[in-house]
């Protein structure tokens, strides 16, 4: 597994690593695999973020789908969670999102959802990969004439998705003064009207996409401007989304960043109080901060850690019927309302708690104290990422770091599933010590893999 699909679809530099030929093949392979056993002509909905390459790749994927005899409904620019919601509402057989999420604009990607709005399991991804890579002989009857798929368009996707998110709360946000950073991405078409209709007074930032400014010094990966804006304008909080709006982080009234772990702490405590926290359990990942683990112990909440990736969090949630899960990066899943991480839905849930409790965000965030944590991201080639797993010097550096940290800390080093990066995360009680260890291990990795 993992030849083409990463933890969140297929990604690469648009028009080189992910070009039109490959996108068309992905579309054809997806339609072929997901139409097995259907007695009707399959339908696939397609949406995209605001990248310059999204229209090109969306057209290529659509052509591939139609060439396999399936129909396409184009939705235009939408958030990724809108695809996950609408595929079921429209009774489509699959949904595809053209997006590279939080990555820079030159990247793009293809995320695939099944008819129920879930990301595909490994076995279906492997079937699609086999067709794309020619492992499975595509010796099938080629549709011609009236059997070729058709493309249609719907223009109500955003309003239907927005109505869905609004129904997740019975609170009015009247009186709240908030800033919203749309990352010049998908939230630009939905967030302002959503929060205005819920009653908030909004200040919009980075909501004018031009095809090349998505995630550029803005959004959930670059919070500095939002932090300053909230403090300078004395606002109640700031909301930050990533390029396709499936992630959400925020800023409290003091300018402090509230990450996914703290958001989950606030929401899990509220859900427990109201009997909505199924089996009194929250699902996170191995990157979840120690502070959240301690919070769960104090609040008598069970915590389960999975591999990094919201798909793995969701798999665990679905396996046992858990209601809340997510990642530090801001992928939060409220299973009562969604089948994937949804930034705007998460923001609505958090603001609803603020209104209900009549508390500032900083007061709510005080329920959890984060343990010191250092993260270093190293740009490494695909070949270097592969060599990481067998390099003896890197393993030795990690073992030494683990021994030095002892029981009071931990180190997690892993290749990113969505970017050409290796992430070094060190956590512990001593901030200076973890910084020193993180830099030391990162230096070894860079010296061993940086030029490979």
176: which DSSP letter? -
Predicted pLDDT of residue 406:
87
Give the model's pLDDT for residue 3.
Answer: 67
Which position has the higher pLDDT, 143 or 212?
212
Instruction: Report pLDDT digits (tens) over 209-258.
Output: 999 999 999 999 999 999 999 999 999 999 999 999 999 999 999 999 99
Q: Measured at the alpha carbon of residue 323, what is the angle toward residues 290 and 304, in degrees to the nearest 5?
A: 30
Q: What confidence tier does 319 reach under pLDDT thresholds 50, 70, 90?
A: very high
Q: Considering Cα of 127, then 132, then 133, then 134, what sign does the dihedral take? A: positive
**What is the model's pTM?**
0.90
Judge whether residue 137 has pLDDT over 60: no
Provide the pLDDT for residue 274.
95
Known catalytic residue at 101:
yes
Q: For residue 213, which of 188, 243, 184 has the smallest C-alpha distance?
A: 184
What mean pLDDT is reported for the chain? 93
How much is the average pLDDT of 159-166? 98
Q: What tens digit of pLDDT does each residue of 262-316 get?
A: 999 999 999 999 999 999 999 999 999 999 999 999 999 999 999 988 889 999 9
What's the confidence (pLDDT) of residue 102?
Answer: 92
Query: Of the candidates 247, 220, 364, 373, which has an alpha carbon nearest to the alpha carbon of residue 295?
Result: 364
pLDDT in tens, 83-99: 999 999 999 999 999 99
Question: Span 140-161, mean pLDDT?
Answer: 92
**Torsion of Cα atoms, 89 then 90 then 91 then 93, to 10°:** -120
Q: Read off the pLDDT band of 452 (50, 70, 90).
A: low
3-state SS, residue 51: coil
> What gap in Å lies between CA 179 and CA 257, rounded to an integer?
13
pLDDT of residue 418: 72
Residue 2 has pLDDT above 70, yes or no: no
- Per-residue HEC secondary structure of 95-141 comes to EEEECCCCCCCCEEEEEEEECCCCECCHHHHHHHHHHHCCCCCCCCC
Percentage with pLDDT > 70 across the chain = 98
| pLDDT level of residue 367 (50, 70, 90 thresholds) | very high
pLDDT band at 135 (very low <50, low <70, confident <90, very high): low
What domains can you pick out in the chain, each with its CATH number?
10-155 (3.40.120.10), 160-365 (3.40.120.10), 373-449 (3.30.310.50)
Per-residue pLDDT, 139 = 57
- Give the chain's length: 452
Instruction: State yes or no: pLDDT of 396 exceeds 60.
Output: yes
Tokens encoding 371: 């343990």
For 151-161, how does the pLDDT look when each residue is reduced to its tens digit (9 = 90+)? 999 999 999 99
Structure token pair of residue 430 = 């001593």
Per-residue confidence (pLDDT) for residue 309, from 0 to 100: 86
Q: Which of 206-220, 318-332, 390-404, 411-425 has the lowest mean pLDDT?
A: 411-425
Question: From the candidates 54, 62, 67, 101, which is the catalytic residue?
Answer: 101
Strand partners, 305: 284
Comparing 52-56, 232-236, 365-369, 394-398, the range with the smallest average pLDDT is 394-398
Question: Within a 10 A sphere around the Cβ of 285, how many other Cβ atoms?
Answer: 24
pLDDT of residue 136: 57
Residue with tokens 């925020």: 250
**Region 393-410 average pLDDT:** 89
Question: Has residue 17 got a pLDDT over 60?
Answer: yes
Q: Which of 6-20, 191-205, 272-286 has the lowest mean pLDDT?
A: 6-20
Residue 451 burial (CB count, 10 A): 9
Residue 364 predicted with pLDDT over 70: yes
Per-residue pLDDT at 421: 85
């Amino acid at each position: 597994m993992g030849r083409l699909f990463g933890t969140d679809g297929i990604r690469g530099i648009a028009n080189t690593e992910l070009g039109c030929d490959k996108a068309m093949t992905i579309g054809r392979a997806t339609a072929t695999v997901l139409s097995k056993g259907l007695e009707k002509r399959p339908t696939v909905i397609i949406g995209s973020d605001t990248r310059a390459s999204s229209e090109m790749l969306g057209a290529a994927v659509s052509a591939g789908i139609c060439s396999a005899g399936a129909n396409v409904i184009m939705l235009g620019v939408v958030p990724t969670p809108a695809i996950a919601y609408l595929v079921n509402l429209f009774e489509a057989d699959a949904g595809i999102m053209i997006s590279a999420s939080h990555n820079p604009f030159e990247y793009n990607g293809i995320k695939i959802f099944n008819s129920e709005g879930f990301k595909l399991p490994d076995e279906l991804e492997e079937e699609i990969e086999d067709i794309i890579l020619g492992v499975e002989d595509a010796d099938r009857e080629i549709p011609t004439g009236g059997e070729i798929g058709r493309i249609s368009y719907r223009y109500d996707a955003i309003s239907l998705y927005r109505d869905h998110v609004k129904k997740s709360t019975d609170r009015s946000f009247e009186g709240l003064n908030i800033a919203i950073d749309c990352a010049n991405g998908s939230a630009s078409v939905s967030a302002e009207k959503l929060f205005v209709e819920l009653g908030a007074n909004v200040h919009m930032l980075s909501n004018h996409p031009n095809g090349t400014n998505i995630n550029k010094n803005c959004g959930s990966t670059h919070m500095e401007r939002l932090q300053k804006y909230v403090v300078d304008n004395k606002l109640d909080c700031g909301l930050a989304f990533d390029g396709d709006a499936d992630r959400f982080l925020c800023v409290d009234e003091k300018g402090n960043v509230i990450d996914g772990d703290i958001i989950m702490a606030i929401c899990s405590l509220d859900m427990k109080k109201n009997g909505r926290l199924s089996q009194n359990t929250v699902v996170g990942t191995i990157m979840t901060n120690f502070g959240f683990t301690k919070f769960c112990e104090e609040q008598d909440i069970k915590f389960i850690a999975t591999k990094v990736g919201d798909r793995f969090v969701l798999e665990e949630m679905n396996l046992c019927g858990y209601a809340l899960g997510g990642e530090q990066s801001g992928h939060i899943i409220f299973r009562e309302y969604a089948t994937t991480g949804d930034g705007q839905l998460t923001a609505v849930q958090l603001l609803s708690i603020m209104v209900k409790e009549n508390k500032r965000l900083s007061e709510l965030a005080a329920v959890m104290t984060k343990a010191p944590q250092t993260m270093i991201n190293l740009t490494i080639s695909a070949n270097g990422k592969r060599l990481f797993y067998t390099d003896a010097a890197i393993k030795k550096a990690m073992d030494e770091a683990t021994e030095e940290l002892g029981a009071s800390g931990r180190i997690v080093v892993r290749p990113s599933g969505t970017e050409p990066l290796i992430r070094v995360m060190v956590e512990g009680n001593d901030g200076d010590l973890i910084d020193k260890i993180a830099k030391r291990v990162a230096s070894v990795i860079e010296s061993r893999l940086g030029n490979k």
